[in-house]
Structures are given as C-alpha cells and as structure tokens.
C-alpha cells in the first residue's frame, strides 16, 4: 500500500476513497484526520493471508490509533489487541472486544491496571521485569484470579531503525535481558496458583524494513524455549511484537508474508510448529489508512526560507519534530501549472515553537487558503496529539467508499478547560 492508494486524485482533486476532500473540509473544518475504512481492511487482509491456515493471532497495537471506530473495525475483522494501559483496556472493552484475545504490554503496569485486566480476563500479561512479576503474582493472589503471563525478553538485537523507536537493545528500558530470562521463567513457574506461564514475547522496535532483526530475535527466543522445555516449562505461544514498517516515501516495507514464512520455517525446523504465533502490529495496519487534512492560513517569505503556515501543528502530528519523520505533503487541488509558481516551502503550524514544523523543503505550488494533505498520518497521529497552546484536537472522519462519518468531533474550546477551576470558592 502506498500513501495515496486509498486517497486518489479524481478530476484533479484528492479524494478519500470516493469522497472529495474539499467537501469534508467544508463540512467539518480543518485540521481533520481522514481515515479510509477500506485501507484498514486491506492492511488486515495482508496479515490474514500471510497467516494462511496457521495459528496466528494478530493483536492490533492500538497505541498507533485508538479511535473506537478503528478498534471496532479490527474487532469485526477478528483482531485481538495489544494494550499498554488501563485506558487502552477500557477502550477495547468499550467496543466489545474479546478479552481472551488481548495481550497487555508495558513496563510500568500499576496495581489498578493489573486488577482491571485480570477481572476482564486478558489472554496474557507481557511481563517486563522481575518486580512486575512479583506485583502481578500478589495482585492475582489477592483477587484469586491466576494471571497468564509471558516474559518480554529483550533479545539485544538492533532493529536498524530510529533510536527513539528501537526497543530491543540492551540499553533500552524494555523487557528482561535474554540471559536473565530463564531464571525469571523458573521463578514464574514456581508461583503456582498465581502465575500461569503461557508464552514468550519480544518487540524489537518500529518502522522496521528488514527481516533479519526479527530472525535474529526469533533464534534467540527459540533457543530459550528449548532450554525451558528441558526444564519442564512448556509454552503455548510466541509473540514477536509489532514493528513492520510502512512506505512514507520510498521505503520497501517488510511484508507480513515475508516475515511469517520465515518464522513458520524456523518454528517447524525446531519442532515448535505447534506454537501459536502472536503479532502486535500497529503502524502497518493504520499508517497509510489516514491523512491529516489542513488548510494554508498564510504564505510567508523571508531571506532564508518560504513558509506555508497551515492550521495543523505539532500538537496534531508530533512525528516530524519528535523523530525528524518525513511525511509526504500534497496539494488537495493542485492549481494549474501556469497559475502559481512552485516554491520550496517549510510547512509549519501556528504553535509558538520553532520545532513546530510538519515538513521541510517541499516544492509546492500553493496559495493562501489552499488545502494540503499530510499523508501516512493514520498511525501515531491523533494518538500522540495534545492540546498544547489550548488547541482543540482535530476531528476524525472515517470514509467508506462514498459514505463518511465523523468518528470523533473536533474538540470544543470549552471542553479543554471545563474541568479546571480557579482558587476562588
Ligand atoms: N507492541 C509493543 C510492545 C510496542 O511497544 C509497539 C510500539 C507495538 C507493538 C506496535 O509497533 P508498530 O507495529 O506500530 O511499529 N510513536 C512512534 C512509534 C512508537 C512505537 C512504540 N511501540 C512513531 O510515531 O514512529
């Protein structure tokens, strides 16, 4: 899937599926996130086809985009969910997802979050430290509800991606070092009645395009599983996390099939073909299913740069300034070539920070009041949005062919401070 697959130009105007984006901008304003429902379905199908008839549970890494409409779509398609907080648990329960298909990751699980997940009956806690294992055992004992658990192993492999989104190296806070894992499993297995050991888990990073880092991690996990087996600790599933990249520009993303074929081969070769494979993809399920629609407020030129100041900002899409991430920016209705001279622009927002930029050095023919689309904004766009500068978070709109629906209205300004009060009685 490319950034434009579900956002085609028709008669010179960018559409979301069959809906012209200017129509959505007029009806709902800008900035708005626009999602393509059929892009979600296609991304999901890529995983399903790759799994074939093997036992693969795809748990959507919902931190990428946790709008209920997106969760509900994946639930209907048969997805499980990877959650990292009590808040995310509440969201998956709100759409009626089956908790038996929910895995709970994260390094800082609090007591209330463990209690809620145990009561809900999640499939598995991905335990990230020995202290967490002890806490989980205590909470499970108090509730009289045994906790199914995997150890999240840090396999110390380089995912060859941006340092901020690389998680499988020794220096990262995530997981339990692979050389400690065996001891932790022995301890977990001894906590009978409180902890039931069911799997092993790792997640090495995000926006990964090579298969080798996964296979490097897998080999280490397989060796660990064999050592555990010889000590009578049998596992039921192997969770390889998420991390498959998407195309923002010209990347050649790793296809689920290319990964899973190699995984199945190695599992079969190790006599572990019976293990369920769990994946936790986020970005690759939603990234290219969304754009951020924004309107140019002003063009501004100084000696050094040209700026297109738009109504979206770093609070709507944090990735460019946080990671130096590149998102394509296109004109929704490009003017005729002789009408406007193209210039090289920095696309910036109204927030009072020099870091408030969405794209740099882009050649665009653009006028004041034109609409722009910032592509590949379906993952880690709205979910990382804030209200900095007391800016209401953007509307979210979902399109299905020629139908569309607001799946989260633009926030009202009053709602941004409605819970606050002055000191006065
Ligand atoms: N599982 C775990 C335990 C994770 O930590 C993550 C992402 C995922 C699954 C999903 O990974 P994905 O398939 O989306 O790569 N905000 C950053 C990405 C942070 C990823 C954090 N963990 C960005 O905008 O690039």
Q: What is the DSSP string of 188-224?
A: HHHSTTTEEEEEEE---BSSB--SHHHHHHHHHHHHH
Predicted confidence band at 159 (pLDDT cuts at 50, 70, 90)? confident
pTM of the model: 0.97
Ligand 1 proximity of 241 Cβ (cutoff 6 Å) = yes
Correct CATH for 9-36+287-416 of 2.40.37.10, 3.40.720.10, 2.40.160.20, 1.10.3720.10:
2.40.37.10
Decide: helix, strand or coil at residue 330: strand
Residues in the chain, how many? 425
Question: 221-262: per-residue pLDDT in tens?
Answer: 999 999 999 999 999 999 999 999 999 999 999 999 999 999
Domain extents for the chain?
Answer: 9-36+287-416, 98-281
Q: 388-405 b/e with 16+ CB inside 10 Å = b?
A: eeebbbbbbbbbbeeebe
Portion of the chain with pLDDT greater than 70, in percent: 99
Ligand 1 proximity of 62 Cβ (cutoff 6 Å) = no
Question: 101-148: per-residue pLDDT in tens?
Answer: 999 999 999 999 999 999 999 999 999 999 999 999 999 999 999 999
Contact 290, 31 (CB under 8 A): no
Rounded average pLDDT over 327-340? 94
Q: What pLDDT does 165 receive?
A: 67
CA 46 to centroid of ligand 1, rounded, Å = 19
Other beta carbons within 10 Å of 335: 15
Q: Is 11 exposed, middle or buried (0-12, 13-18, 19+ CB in 10 A)?
A: exposed
Rounded average pLDDT over 85-95? 98
Q: Quick one: DSSP state of residue 398? A: E
Distance of CA 397 to the CA centre of its chain: 18
Please determine, for residue 163, whether its predicted confidence score (pLDDT) is greater than 80. no
Q: What pLDDT does 15 receive?
A: 98
Q: What pLDDT does 160 receive?
A: 74
* Substitution candidate for ligand 1 out of 201, 207, 282, 324 with most atoms within 8 A of CB: 282
Predicted confidence band at 182 (pLDDT cuts at 50, 70, 90)? very high
Ligand 1 proximity of 321 Cβ (cutoff 6 Å) = no
Nearest atom within ligand 1 for CA of residue 167: 5
Task: Give nearest CA residue, ligand 1 atom 23.
Answer: 380
Please determine, for residue 425, whether its predicted confidence score (pLDDT) is greater than 90. no
Say which CATH class 98-281 falls into. alpha beta
* Substitution candidate for ligand 1 out of 242, 259, 281, 321 with most atoms within 8 A of CB: 242
Phi and psi, residue 283, nearest 5°: -50, -45
Catalytic residues: 352
The pLDDT mean for the chain works out to 96
CA proximity to 101, closest of 145, 56, 59, 49: 59
Please determine, for residue 78, whether its predicted confidence score (pLDDT) is greater than 80. yes
* Substitution candidate for ligand 1 out of 88, 105, 207, 283 with most atoms within 8 A of CB: 283
Please determine, for residue 202, whether its predicted confidence score (pLDDT) is greater than 70. yes
Rounded average pLDDT over 326-342? 94
């Amino acid at each position: 899937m490319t950034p434009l697959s579900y956002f085609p130009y028709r008669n010179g105007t960018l559409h979301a599926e069959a809906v012209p984006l200017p129509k959505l901008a007029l009806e709902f304003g800008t900035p708005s996130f626009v999602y393509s429902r059929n892009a979600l379905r296609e991304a999901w199908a890529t995983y399903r086809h790759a799994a074939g008839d093997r036992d693969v549970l795809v748990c959507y890494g919902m931190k990428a985009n946790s709008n209920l409409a997106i969760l509900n779509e994946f639930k209907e398609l048969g997805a499980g969910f990877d959650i990292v907080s009590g808040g995310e648990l509440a969201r998956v329960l709100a759409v009626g997802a089956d908790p038996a298909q929910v895995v709970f990751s994260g390094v800082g699980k609090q007591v209330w979050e463990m209690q809620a997940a145990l009561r809900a009956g999640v499939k598995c806690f991905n335990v990230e430290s020995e202290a967490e294992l002890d806490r989980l055992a205590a909470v499970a004992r108090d509730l009289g509800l045994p906790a199914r658990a995997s150890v999240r192993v840090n396999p110390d492999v380089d995912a060859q991606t941006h340092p901020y989104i690389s998680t499988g190296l020794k220096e990262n806070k995530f997981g339990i070092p692979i050389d400690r894992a065996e001891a932790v499993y022995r301890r977990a297995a001894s906590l009978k009645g409180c902890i039931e050991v069911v799997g092993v888990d790792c997640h090495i990073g995000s926006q990964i395009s090579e298969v080798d880092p996964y296979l490097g991690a897998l080999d280490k996990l397989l060796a660990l599983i064999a050592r555990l087996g010889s000590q009578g600790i049998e596992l039921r599933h192997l969770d390889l996390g998420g991390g498959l990249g998407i195309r923002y520009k010209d990347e050649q993303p790793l296809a689920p099939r290319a990964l899973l074929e190699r995984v199945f081969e190695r599992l079969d070769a190790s006599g572990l073909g019976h293990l369920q494979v769990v994946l936790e993809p986020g970005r690759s399920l939603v990234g290219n299913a969304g754009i951020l629609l924004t309107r140019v407020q002003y063009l501004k030129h100084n000696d050094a740069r040209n700026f297109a100041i738009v109504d979206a900002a770093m609070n709507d899409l944090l990735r460019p300034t946080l990671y130096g991430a590149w998102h394509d920016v296109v004109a929704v209705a490009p003017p005729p070539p002789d009408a406007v001279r193209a210039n090289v622009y920095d696309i910036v927002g109204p927030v009072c920070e020099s870091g408030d930029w969405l794209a740099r050095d882009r050649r665009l023919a653009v006028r004041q009041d034109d609409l722009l689309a910032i592509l590949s904004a379906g993952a880690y766009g709205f979910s990382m949005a804030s209200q900095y500068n007391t800016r209401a978070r953007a509307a979210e709109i979902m399109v299905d062919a020629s139908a569309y629906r607001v799946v989260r209205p633009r926030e009202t300004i009053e709602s941004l401070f409605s819970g606050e009060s002055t000191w006065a009685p």
